[in-house]
Structure 1
Amino acid sequence: MAQKQKAGAFDIRVVIAALIGAYGVVLTILGIIADPAEVDKADGLNINLWGGIAMLVFAALFVLWSRLRPIVVPADTGGDAPADPAKAPTD
């Protein structure tokens, strides 16, 4: 019976969440320290702050998704089958 393991940090959803989360942190910080004159240009809406918060929420949802529905990959069985089928022994 083949054992199964989770993809973990190699899951693409974790990588996407990390990248979007990093951008979200930067935008949130920029939104917090925003110049009031810049906020007035956007009709009083602090776009950096709200965009950063939205990106942080999106990243959190991706991490939650990857934890609740992990990708399961078969574990290496240690040589039961050749890695390359073209190199399989012929009889």
Structure 2
Amino acid sequence: MSDENQTGAPHKAGAFDIRNIIGALMGVYGVILALAGLFGDAETEKTGGVNANLWTGIALLVVAGAFLGWARLKPIVVPADVERPDDDPTRPAPSRRRPSH
């Protein structure tokens, strides 16, 4: 039995939603870069007086928040029953290759 039949709520993609994965990955990189910008050597002479690690880390954290918020506000609903593509009579059957001997 599916979760939809037992609880009445549709099943959502949850952690397997690609937006969660991208948001988490960008968040991890953002935290690392922001910490490197705060506690590491800024090397502002190489970047024209800008702490590039800090600003890039902050930008990645903002983008990660946007991805995670998007996934939370508009979750992907997984259908309970999916028809196989072979059941569609209008779809042409795949052509089979002949074995080459």
Structure 2 unmatched ranges of 5 or more: 5-9, 88-101
| Equivalent residue for 1:56, pick from 50, 58, 61 | 61
- 2:33 is aligned to 27
User: Structure 2 CA distance, aligned partners of 1:63 and 1:52?
Assistant: 16
Q: Between Structure 1 and Structure 2, how many residues are aligned? A: 79
Higher helix residue share: 1
| Equivalent residue for 2:75, pick from 51, 70, 79 | 70
User: Could you list the per-position Cα deviations for residues 8-65 of structure 1 after superposition, in whole angstroms to 9, with x for gaps in the alignment?
Assistant: 11101000011111111110010001325x1122111000000000000000000000
Tell me the percent identity. Answer: 53
Q: RMSD of the alignment, in Å?
A: 2.3
Structure 1 unmatched ranges of 5 or more: 87-91
Structure with higher RCO (Cα < 8 A, 6+ apart): 1
TM-score of the superposition, structure 1-length normalised? Answer: 0.75
User: Structure 2 CA distance, aligned partners of 1:34 and 1:50?
Assistant: 13
